[in-house]
Chain A
Amino acid sequence: MEGATGNSTTPRAVPPLLADVEVSNLPGFDVTPTPSPRHQDAATPTTPSARPQPSPKKASRPGGLPMDRVTRRSEVVLPSLESPFQAPGYRTMQPVSISLPASPTGFGAPAIPAGLGGGAGGDPDGLRRQAMANAAARGEPQPSPPAAQDKHGGSVRFAHQPDKVVFRSQPIPGGQPAPPGSARAGRAGSRVMSRDKRYDSFKTFSGKLERQLTHLARAPEVHDDEEDGEDDAITTSRSTSMPKVDRFFAALEGPELDQLKSSEELVLPSDKKWPFLLRFPVSAFGMSLGVSSQAILWKTIATSAPTTFLHVGTKVNLVLWCISVALMCAITAVYALKVAFFFEAVRREYYHPIRVNFFFAPWIACLFLAIGVPPSVATELPRWLWYALMAPVLVLELKIYGQWMSGGQRRLSKVANPSNHLSVVGNFVGALLGASMGLREGPVFFFSVGLAHYSVLFVTLYQRLPTNETLPKELHPVFFLFVAAPSVASMAWARITGEFGYGSRVAYFIAMFLYASLAVRINFFRGFRFSLAWWAYTFPMTGAAIASIRYSTEVDNTFTKALCVALSAVAVLTVTALFATTLVHAFVLRNLFPNDISIAITERKMKPIIELHESQGEDGSTKSNDIEAGSAQ
Chain B
Amino acid sequence: MAAGDEAAAAASTVAVSLNNNDKPRRHHPAASGKEENRHRPWAMLTRFHAGYFRISLALSGQALLWRTLTSDDNSSTATELRPLPLVRSLPSAAFLLLWSLALLALLALAALYAARCLLRFHAVRAEFRHHVAMNYLFAPWISCLLLLQSAPFLRPDAPPYHLLWWAFSLPILALDVKIYGQWFTRGRRFLSMVANPASHITVIGNLVTARAAAKMGWHEGAVAIFAVGAAHYLVLFVTLYQRFLGSDSLPAMLRPVFFLFFAAPSMASLAWDAISSSFDTCCKMLFFLSLFLFASLVSRPALFKRAMRRFSVAWWAYSFPLSVLALASAEYAQEVRQAAANGLMLVLAVLSVAVTLALMLFTALRTADLLPHDDPFDHGCPQLPT
Contact = CB atoms under 8 A, between A and B. Distances in A.
B83 to A, nearest CB: 24
B245 A405 contact: no
B244 A404 contact: no
Contacts of A452: 237, 289
B281 A406 contact: no
Contact of B295 (A398, A447, A456, A497): A398
Interface stretch (B12-20, B160-168, B296-304, B323-331): B296-304
A10 interface: no
A303 interface: no
A398 B299 contact: yes
A100 to B, nearest CB: 36
A448 B234 contact: no
Contact of B284 (A441, A451, A497): A441
B285 A460 contact: no
A452 B338 CA distance: 25
A259 interface: no
A398 B285 contact: no
Given A398-B299, A405-B243, A460 B238 contact: yes
A448 B288 CA distance: 7
B interface bracket (residues with beta carbon within 8 Å of A) = 20 to 34
A173 B226 CA distance: 69
A102 interface: no
B241 interface: yes
Contacts of B242: 411-413, 416, 456, 459-460, 465
A405 B289 contact: no
Interface centre among B237, B296, B299 (most CB of A within 10 A): B296
B292 interface: yes
SS of A interface (majority)? helix
A397 B300 CA distance: 13
Nearest to A404: B241
A516 B240 CA distance: 31
Nearest to A398: B296
A449 B288 contact: yes
A405 B285 contact: no
A405 B303 CA distance: 11
Interface residues of A, number: 29
A446 to B, nearest CB: 8
B258 interface: yes
Given A398-B299, A455-B238, A406 B258 contact: yes
B284 A444 contact: yes
A113 to B, nearest CB: 39
Nearest to B255: A406
B336 interface: yes
A199 to B, nearest CB: 32
Given A398-B295, A398-B296, A398-B299, A405 B241 contact: yes
A96 to B, nearest CB: 32
A502 to B, nearest CB: 13
B238 A411 contact: no
A92 B243 CA distance: 36
A104 interface: no
Given A405-B261, A459-B238, A444 B245 contact: no
A600 B284 CA distance: 45
Given A413-B245, A456-B242, A448 B285 contact: yes
Contacts of B295: 398
A456 B286 contact: no
Interface string A444-468: 1101110111011001100001010
A187 interface: no
B240 A455 contact: no
Nearest to A402: B296
B245 A411 contact: yes
Given A398-B296, A444-B288, A405 B244 contact: no
Interface centre among A398, A406, A467, A496 (most CB of B within 10 A): A406
Interface centre among B234, B238, B243, B285 (most CB of A within 10 A): B243
A168 interface: no
A593 interface: no
Nearest to A441: B336
21 contacts: A398-B296, A402-B297, A404-B243, A405-B243, A406-B300, A411-B243, A411-B245, A412-B241, A441-B336, A444-B284, A444-B285, A445-B291, A447-B285, A448-B289, A449-B289, A456-B238, A459-B238, A460-B238, A460-B241, A465-B242, A465-B244
Interface of B: 234, 237-238, 240-245, 258, 261, 281, 284-286, 288-289, 291-292, 295-297, 299-300, 303, 336, 338
Interface of A: 397-398, 401-402, 404-406, 411-414, 416, 441, 444-445, 447-449, 451-453, 455-456, 459-460, 465, 467, 496-497
Given A397-B292, A405-B261, 5 more contacts: A398-B299, A405-B296, A413-B242, A452-B237, A460-B241
